[in-house]
Structure 1
Amino acid sequence: MEPSVSTTVSPASNHTQNSTGGSCYWEISDKTRLCRFLCYGSEGDIYTAREEGRVSLESAGALLSMLQEGRGAEVVEEIKRFSQDGQAVRLGPSFFALALCSQHSDLKTRQAAFKVLKEVCLDPAHLFSFIQIKKELKEGMKCGIWGRALRKAVSDWYNEQDAMSLAAAVTKCKQREGWSHQDLLRLCHAKPANEAIALICKYVTKGWKEVQDSYSDKHNSEEVVKVLSYLEIVEKAKHSCDETEVINLIEEYKLEREQLLTEHLKSKQVWRALFKEMPLQSLLRFLGKLTANKILEPGCSETQAVCDRIQCETALKKAKIHPLSLLLSSENYKRGQGYQGKTKWEPDSSILKAIDYAFYKSFMNVEPMGKRFVVAVDVSTSLSSIVPGSSVSTAVAAAAITMMFVRTELDTHVLAYSEGALVSCSLSADMTLAQVTAELVKLPGGSTDCTLPITWATENEKAVDVFIILTNNPLWAFAASPLEALKNHRQKAGAHSKLVMCGLTSTGHAIADTEDRGLLSICGFDMGALSVIRNLAQDLI
């Protein structure tokens, strides 16, 4: 008997059913293209790792089409969902889409966009990006952007913040994209909602001296006193040339790097004070600099404190550090020099051991998707290349990605294939990264055919939700087209199967010229690629 198949239509796609009830073809709808755009800035089926840059109207055809069809409210809801749920690899496309909606001719679309501004633009940097995009979109239209709706939305953005959070935000991120808080508050004609917000607005627009003159003799509320005290501490640190005083202010009031002067950051003692409370992800990013500046030295108490923080399970869980993020940090630190500038350091063995320990512990932070996976590693080449933009070899990257699925997904089958041969790999959750790497690369090299894993699953009657092919660079001779092999598997297995082709060193390729929503290519690899795979597996893109 054929397995029963659900006919539920995913929110991001349209399924075309075949005669047996299996989903053999997925049409790519405008909604799907919009979701891809919001996820990684392109409506196409290729995600390119570490590719940044401005998005444009040319890359947002589905967004424009949906707006023209009167589906603005639907678009805004998707923008909100992708930006809030951590599904977006890059936030720029969400800001672009929201800016476009905010100046659409349809009143309800504009109102919906401005209503979610604070939920999409969570911090000043986001807000500045949104405003700059609006300016760029309007430049060709020869009209201003500061209408009543935008003035109210920006004013509300400030007024609806917690006063202490806003005070910290305006002192940590003062300007970006050519805009400052002073610019925005002046242009939006803000009317502060309460005295504490009024104090912060005055501080931003008039400066600290004027705030002192205005509030020194007044009977202030408890909240105003708290904000005043905080701003006074920030100002004191900003103008202090006394290293000891700056360190005391950092330690007592949890001041952050962005609130200090460049001159302060030349001090080893200041850095020692900063990294005690520095977010764990930031600390990992600065390990090379801290080692190069002799702040972290072999055997010193600061190095031990850093190792303890990196290995702390509570800290790892709180910061939601991903194992692949730790792998990238480890390999970059091991490299002994930065990618920009002339900074060099001698990697500390105790720090490397701490990151290695944290790598294995951090798999607890990976939320299972509950899907059936086949992860197939193409070993037709030696997998000895380096993933662009990192210090990680393609063999280690493939092993780490494979480990993630083996350790977090109950139904994962791992295959290694080359030269027409395909081997099932016996991997267990307790294997080390080195053991997994050795297991994957033991086959001889040769030409390859990426349809082999799909054919294997079909012939062995194993229903698969997502095939993930990991390879150096996807240049193959196919026995059959990947799409046809995938369609055949869908039909016989009764599964809505998808295929992700990940070329770890590729700079741009597509699996096939197709409108099938279940195929996706990844060029290179970074943390964003994992989000793309997760979104595809969960029918979000």
Structure 2
Amino acid sequence: MDFHSNSVVFHPDTVPQSAPISADQVRNNAGGFGWKVDDITRLKRFLCLGSEGGTYYTSQKALTQQNVGCIVNLISEGKGVDVVKTIKQFSLEGRTAKQTSILRALAVCCRSTDLTTKQEAYKALGDICRIPTFLFEFIERCESQGKTTGWGRAHRNAISAWYNRFSDDPVKLAMHVTKYRQRKDWSHRDVLRLSHTKPANEAIGVVLRYAVKGLADAKQMYDKPELESPAIKKVLQFLAVVEEAKSCKEENKMVELIRQHGLVREHIPTSLLSSTTIWKELLQKMPMTAMIRNLGKMTSIGVLTAGCSEEDLVVQKLTDRDSLKQARIHPFNVLVALKTYSAGCGEKGKLTWTPTKRIVKALDDAFYMSFKFALPTKKRYLLAVDVSGSMGCPVMGTPSVSCRSAAAAMMMVTKRTEEPDKSTVVAFCHKLTPLNIKHSDDLDTVTGKISDMNFGGTDCALPMVWAKQKKKMFDVFVVYTDSETWFGNIHPSEALRQYRKWSGLWDARLIVCGMASNEFTIADPDDPGMMDVVGFDSAAPEAMRSFVMGEI
């Protein structure tokens, strides 16, 4: 295929990446040319990777605006319902590490002038905003989305429905209200007053009254003989225990309250948060996310020591695939926890600890188990990690994990899924370096090898060029990159076509694992043997397997 530009005929095999090989290519932020991903793919990148911290070439603000514009475009094309379904699916399946992009995208849909999109978005509110933290952030996003605060009927009804959805379990609402009291300058009192929420029953009324006026006022209104009911009694009892805990100074008494009433860390007064005894009790029923977040704290005060029963419990929880799935633990959050815990200190504050080897190993195992399980394909893979300068930016605004390290971690998911002798690993920038990565290597070792490499420009064609030069046979090329390629003398898509011709492997495939929420890809959308997946989508390994096996 020839590409005509300014009356000059270019052949794809002679066109450098600094020039287009087809009329539908666009210039990327680095000055090279590639294709734009479709808006649905870009939406998925945004939901998974967000725009926190921006990229090497684009500021956070600009990247966010571009992604919001993508959502607006989809809605204007009549695809608003599909957008909401995608947002809800990614949230419920735990395919995103952070909820910020999910909630921003939901707010865009709720503020849309398209009535159908707006209705579907508000219907999904309860499923997506599972805890008050998410609800408060969603409200904040809605406030900043339009020119007005927008507390119209649809908004008020949806917020009211969020509280009343606990009508059959008011104690659960009481737990939510007391555990998550405020976020982003929003409190339950603010939200309830603005939404004019009317309780679905008296037990819900107790919780709402408590949130707005306090326990004494709630008792005065609902602790009456004519309103006597088991549900009201349970709620009032729980709220009374929460208030008692606020002023508790005795370890044994607090342990008793935790054991009998299921109190959590947020209910414990600061003066008791250094108690080993209390943390040991909290650990017994601590939710998975909270446990992972507090591993450093518990190790620093001696709760988690080598060989103790508490360490056994943590290891057992971290290596239980079903528990990880049920808790919607995202691989990226496990990776951050692994790097932080292994380092023995947090990114902020002065807390330090000596990590235990078993917990480090358990976190390493949990990373792989937190992805959707995928069977090996038994194909031959070249796994190519982009280590160019632009890949040095933090992923999702997390300083401890660079895009480069995240790409290496994603690569190891495929490396461990496939048979040990079926994959070769290389790193590339303006040059390519084969890496001695073993199937059994832990993440810390792998990311360490990648981080120590010299960085330069980006040539995403190198994996295919190298394979042809070295006469190596691969069925699948997987490139982990931000697609900001510009350096090479041949486009990646053309390099793959030349490799197919040379090798006779006409079905050789290219998977581009996008590690940034930009709009670029090196995969030719017109070539059925090339595919884009989103880095750190927990469903990515299964999607890749289906593509490699020809199922999609």
Q: 2:53 aligned with 1:41, yes or no?
A: no
CA distance in 2, matches of 1:65, 1:379: 33
In the superposition, relative to structure 1, how do residues 516 and 242 fare at CA in structure 2: closer, same or farther (>3 Å)?
farther
In the superposition, relative to structure 1, how do residues 98 and 490 fare at CA in structure 2: closer, same or farther (>3 Å)?
farther
CA distance in 2, matches of 1:440, 1:108: 50
Match of 2:464 among 454, 471, 490: 454
Q: 2:116 aligned with 1:105, yes or no?
A: no
* 8 Å Cα contact 1:486/1:498 also seen in 2: no
In the superposition, relative to structure 1, how do residues 384 and 135 fare at CA in structure 2: closer, same or farther (>3 Å)?
closer
* 8 Å Cα contact 2:382/2:423 also seen in 1: yes
Three-state SS of the structure 2 residue aligned to 1:190 is coil
CA distance in 2, matches of 1:361, 1:352: 14
In the superposition, relative to structure 1, how do residues 433 and 125 fare at CA in structure 2: closer, same or farther (>3 Å)?
closer
CA distance in 2, matches of 1:386, 1:73: 32
In structure 2, the partner of 1:12 is none
Q: Quick one: percent identity of the two aligned structures?
A: 32
- 1:218-265 CA distances to partner (integer Å, 9 max, x unpaired)? 252332222222222212212323332222111222211112232332
In structure 1, the partner of 2:236 is 228
In structure 2, the partner of 1:150 is 155
In structure 1, the partner of 2:492 is 482
Moved more, 384-393 or 55-64: 384-393
Moved more, 264-273 or 243-252: 264-273
- 1:81-108 CA distances to partner (integer Å, 9 max, x unpaired)? 2222223343222322322222322332
Match of 1:159 among 145, 164, 174: 164
- 1:430-449 CA distances to partner (integer Å, 9 max, x unpaired)? x34399859989xx999996
Moved more, 303-312 or 160-169: 303-312
CA distance in 1, matches of 2:95, 2:461: 29
Q: 2:423 aligned with 1:413, yes or no?
A: yes
**Alignment map for 1:477-516 (pairs within 5 Å):** 478-486=488-496, 488=498, 493-494=506-507, 497-500=510-513
- 1:43-73 CA distances to partner (integer Å, 9 max, x unpaired)? 9xx978xx98898545422222233334332
Moved more, 147-156 or 450-459: 450-459
CA distance in 2, matches of 1:438, 1:38: 24
CA distance in 1, matches of 2:97, 2:330: 14
In the superposition, relative to structure 1, how do residues 216 and 336 fare at CA in structure 2: closer, same or farther (>3 Å)?
same
**Alignment map for 1:372-391 (pairs within 5 Å):** 373-376=381-384
Moved more, 204-213 or 97-106: 97-106
In the superposition, relative to structure 1, how do residues 101 and 209 fare at CA in structure 2: closer, same or farther (>3 Å)?
same
In the superposition, relative to structure 1, how do residues 72 and 259 fare at CA in structure 2: closer, same or farther (>3 Å)?
same
In structure 2, the partner of 1:217 is 224
TM-score by length of 2: 0.72
Q: Which amino acid aligns with 1:153?
A: A
Q: 2:38 aligned with 1:29, yes or no?
A: yes
| Structure 1 residue 173, shift from structure 2 partner | 0.6
* 8 Å Cα contact 2:460/2:479 also seen in 1: no
In structure 1, the partner of 2:298 is 290
In the superposition, relative to structure 1, how do residues 257 and 357 fare at CA in structure 2: closer, same or farther (>3 Å)?
closer
- 1:148-202 CA distances to partner (integer Å, 9 max, x unpaired)? 1111111111111232221111111111122111122222222211222122112
In the superposition, relative to structure 1, how do residues 509 and 32 fare at CA in structure 2: closer, same or farther (>3 Å)?
closer
In structure 2, the partner of 1:21 is none
Q: 2:218 aligned with 1:206, yes or no?
A: no
CA distance in 1, matches of 2:100, 2:404: 32
Match of 2:191 among 156, 181, 184: 184
CA distance in 1, matches of 2:312, 2:507: 49
In structure 2, the partner of 1:91 is 99
* 8 Å Cα contact 2:103/2:141 also seen in 1: yes
Which blocks of at least 5 consecutive residues in structure 1 are unaligned?
1-15, 17-24, 523-527
Three-state SS of the structure 1 residue aligned to 2:270 is coil
* 8 Å Cα contact 1:288/1:337 also seen in 2: yes
Q: Which amino acid aligns with 2:360?
A: I
- 1:310-329 CA distances to partner (integer Å, 9 max, x unpaired)? 24576464134678766654
**Alignment map for 1:351-370 (pairs within 5 Å):** 351-357=356-362, 359-360=364-365, 363-369=368-374
Match of 2:281 among 266, 269, 273: 273
| Structure 1 residue 405, shift from structure 2 partner | 1.7
In structure 1, the partner of 2:5 is none
| Structure 1 residue 277, shift from structure 2 partner | 2.5
- 1:331-390 CA distances to partner (integer Å, 9 max, x unpaired)? 433433322122233x15xx2234325634764444244666531357999x99999956
Match of 2:475 among 460, 463, 474: 463
Q: Which amino acid aligns with 1:493?
A: W
CA distance in 2, matches of 1:54, 1:209: 49
Three-state SS of the structure 2 residue aligned to 1:64 is helix
* 8 Å Cα contact 1:167/1:200 also seen in 2: yes
* 8 Å Cα contact 2:374/2:542 also seen in 1: no
In the superposition, relative to structure 1, how do residues 52 and 256 fare at CA in structure 2: closer, same or farther (>3 Å)?
farther
In structure 2, the partner of 1:135 is 143
Q: 2:351 aligned with 1:343, yes or no?
A: yes
CA distance in 2, matches of 1:392, 1:129: 24
* 8 Å Cα contact 2:425/2:434 also seen in 1: yes
| Structure 1 residue 209, shift from structure 2 partner | 0.6
Which blocks of at least 5 consecutive residues in structure 2 are unaligned?
1-21, 23-33, 548-552
Figure out how many residues of one structure are paired with residues of the other and give that number. 491
In the superposition, relative to structure 1, how do residues 246 and 203 fare at CA in structure 2: closer, same or farther (>3 Å)?
same
The root-mean-square deviation of aligned C-alpha atoms, in Å, is 4.9
- 1:474-498 CA distances to partner (integer Å, 9 max, x unpaired)? 9995352324324556886346633
In structure 2, the partner of 1:238 is 246
* 8 Å Cα contact 1:490/1:497 also seen in 2: no
TM-score by length of 1: 0.73
Three-state SS of the structure 1 residue aligned to 2:273 is helix
Match of 2:80 among 72, 92, 114: 72
